Structure 1
Amino acid sequence: MPVRAWYDVAPSAARLTGSLRDIGYEFPAAVADIVDNSVAAGATRIDVTVEFDGEDSRVVIADDGHGMSAGQLTEALRFGTRRSYRRGELGRYGLGLKTASLSQCRTLTVISRSSRSVARTSARQLDLDLVEEWDQWVIVDPSPQDPVVRSARQWLAEGTGTVVVWQALDRVLPEKRPSGGWARRRLESLAARTSDHLSMVFHRFLEGSDGLTPLVISVNGQKLRPWNPFALQEPHTSELPRQQFEIEMAGTTGLVQLRRFVLPPRDCFTSAAEFERHSGPLNWNRQQGLYVYRANRLVQWGGWGGIRGIDEHTKLARAALDFDNDLDSAFNINVAKMRVSLPAQLRQILEAPVNELCVLANDAYRRTSRGSARPFPTDVDASPEVRAATQAAATAGLALRMAAMQADQWVAWQRIEETLRAQSPEMAQLLGLDG
């Protein structure tokens, strides 16, 4: 075979870094990606500070993890870090620290300490202005007298850890009047949204559940309370039997675990405040569905992944779907770790257990609203005999649905329901099959 000429065509640093800024991060998701690194570093405490100071506003994310040496810090700021990720790690592409940060700011500074016995810190800075001016992949060692570095060293005085600082927040503050009241309110709003986001995405770490080391995260000095979508502390939350599936794709085999929950209706929550809190950022209807976890970190929530549609009558149904990073390629996780695609093989497997969950959630919903939702006699004005017959009919409808699922005849049963609703809507309503 003849030897062919080859050419080293390095990408333009200025153009490519500019493109990577538009990878799709929102502010809370960008902060969460930095927190991923802190969790991977074994941190037990993470402080997020969103500080308004006009053009000098900054975001600081500090942790007490194991820190990085000077060489590790330099490598961490490489686009496409030259390292592999172990099973269970939250990292994926070696891009998160850079792409998440630069999606919000133009200057990224990282200060780290890796030795408990020696109070020595290392600092590196990635400045987009410098990259664009030189059109090279360069980072610099900031001055020890830089106020950012000096402040970070105070945080690191007691032990190991890493401090990430975002400055020149051009994607956050308005280009005109960055010192105005609107800019201040925007940062305050982003801090509040970030608190809600981190409370949800890292709720298992905040709870210390599933054998995880308990993690404390604070935003602007306020310790976060975990938001568990499944209301496990509520006595009337019910859980169906857990299931586990083996997925194989492109030579990779891994396990996926499914947990299914029916949350209590409003009147069965311990308080109205708890019912409202568990409605979540998207509110009850859009919070129903699958909550997909990668290595215990929530990466996608709400909706049924194409298995079925969102329905008012199934808003109490939520399910946890867990996989580890050995199945990343099967789930096609994106760089921001905010979206996954259910493998077609898994979607087919999930259809029956998801429909079973929704039938039970539908029944729980209708038990609380049946009196006002149906033209039949209500619990108030009906005789005990009529109330018992109405409840028996609804129970029979639920039993028929469950039997169809267990017999693997769900598609046929759906056609039967459609026919019954069309030809005898009163009977379908009585059996609880009208939605």
Structure 2
Amino acid sequence: MKEQHSNTVDITPSVRIFTVLRNTGFDIKAATAELLDNAVDANAREIDLYAYISDQGKKNLLVVDDGMGMSTDALKASLTLAELSKGGIDELGKYGMGLKTAALSLSRKFEIFTMTAKSGIVMYAEFDVDKMEEKNKFEAEIREATEDEANFFLSKLGRGKRSGTVIRIADCDRFDPSATTYANQMEIYIGKYFKNFIEKGLSFTVSDVPGKGKRIKPIDCLMRND
């Protein structure tokens, strides 16, 4: 009987997987909620959402939280596919896919600015699908923030805060933040989805301009208070 030989082959996925992930069915509300979930998991007390058109005509989405921030290792894990970075039962974050999938459903690029109380240093990360496809490599940039980047981060976080994270998703091509309907819809959605957290003191704001919006009130779908 002829002996069978086993051959193994490299099945590392193409970097095109990120383009595929852009079409996994995330709607705008679900994608935004996943980003906000990450902020809640970071023990934030204040979470601000901004969706607006910049002076350069770019469609921007910002999520700002005053949570614990991310160490360099945690920042790398947040950018790595299938890296376990948080717990939970049924959220995508359990499988290391939540942040990437949510952000990529809105744009081909996103940036993270973060600082822990222990380090006091603002770190910067860039996840750019176009650059990875051009190089055909799974690579993202992580480094200490420049002075301008650190000032941007602190201006959004608030200079009295010791830690936190800002996620900036620019050049969004899957929604139009210039329409006030998005901010209005998210105000209602957050009020319902995060009702229990809001009632326990967690502050959410949403705005369709770069300035901080009004604080969102909890919404009881059963209208038990009416």
Give the TM-score category using the shorter length: 0.7 to 0.9
Distance 1:55 1:142, change over 3 A: farther
Alignment match of 2:178 (pick from 184, 190, 193): 184
For 2:32, what is the secondary structure of its paired residue? helix
Partners of 1:90 and 1:129 in 2: how far apart? 24
Q: 1:172 is matched with which residue?
A: 175
Say which of 181, 187, 192 aligns to 1:195: 187
Mapped partners of 1:143, 1:133: distance in 2: 24
Q: Distance in 1 between matches of 2:129 and 2:26?
A: 18
Say if 1:37 and 1:90, in contact at 8 Å, map to a contact too.
no
Among residues 62, 69, 76, which one is paired with 1:60 in the alignment? 62
CA positional deviation for 1:101: 0.7
How far apart in 1 are the matches of 2:147 and 2:6? 50
Change (3 A) 1:27 1:84: closer
- String of CA shifts for 1:396-415, please: whole Å, max 9, x gaps: xxxxxxxxxxxxxxxxxxxx
How far apart in 1 are the matches of 2:162 and 2:21?
34
Q: How far did 1:147 drift? A: 5.0
> Structure 1 pair 150/127, CA: closer, same or farther in 2 (3 Å)?
farther
Alpha-carbon RMSD across the aligned residues, in angstroms, is 2.5
Q: Which has the higher contact order (CA 8 A, sep 6+)?
A: 2
Change (3 A) 1:35 1:44: same
Partner SS for 1:49: strand
The alpha-carbon deviation at position 50 of structure 1 amounts to 1.1
- 1:131 has 2:132 as partner: yes
Residue 92 of structure 2 contacts residue 98 of structure 2 at CA under 8 Å; is this kept in 1?
no
Aligned partner of 2:40 in structure 1 is 39
- How far does the alpha carbon of each residue in 1:96-138 deviate from its partner, in whole angstroms, 9 at most, with x for none? 111111111122101111125x421211110121122122211
Q: Does the Cα contact within 8 Å between 1:31 and 1:100 map onto a contact in 2?
A: yes
Check whether the contact 1:70–1:123 (CA below 8 A) recurs between aligned residues.
no
Residue correspondence of structure 1 range 12-411 to structure 2 within 5 A: 12-13=14-15, 15-53=16-54, 55-83=57-85, 85=87, 91-116=93-118, 118-141=119-142, 144-145=145-146, 147=148, 149-154=150-155, 155=157, 157=159, 158-173=161-176, 184-185=178-179, 188-208=180-200, 214-220=201-207, 221-234=213-226
Residues 311-360 of structure 1, C-alpha deviations (whole Å, 9 max, x = no match): xxxxxxxxxxxxxxxxxxxxxxxxxxxxxxxxxxxxxxxxxxxxxxxxxx
Q: TM-score, normalised by structure 1?
A: 0.46
State TM-score, norm by structure 2: 0.85
Over 3 Å counting, the alpha-carbon distance change for 1:192 and 1:162 in structure 2 is same
SS for the counterpart of 2:20 is: helix
2:122, 2:144 within 8 Å by CA — same for their partners in 1? no
CA distance in 1: counterparts of 2:122 and 2:145, whole angstroms: 10
The 8 Å contact of residues 40 and 90 in structure 1, kept in 2 or not, is answered as: no
Question: In the aligned structure 2, how far is the partner of 1:148 from the partner of 1:171?
Answer: 26
For residues 23 and 146 of structure 1, what CA distance do their matches in structure 2 show?
36
Paired letter, 1:34 = L
Q: Give the whole-Å Cα distance in 2 for the aligned partners of 1:5 and 1:127.
A: 35
Q: Are the counterparts in 1 of residues 53 and 59 from structure 2 also a CA contact under 8 Å?
A: yes
Q: Which runs of 5+ in 2 are unaligned?
A: 208-212
8 Å CA contact 1:27–1:194 kept in 2: the answer is no
- What's the counterpart of residue 421 of structure 1? none
Deviation at 1:172, TM superposition (A): 2.4
- Name whichever structure is richer in helix by fraction: 1
1:373 counterpart residue number: none
Identity among equivalent pairs (%): 25
Write the letter of the residue equivalent to 1:6. T
Aligned length: 216
Measured in 2, the distance between the counterparts of 1:104 and 1:200 equals 22
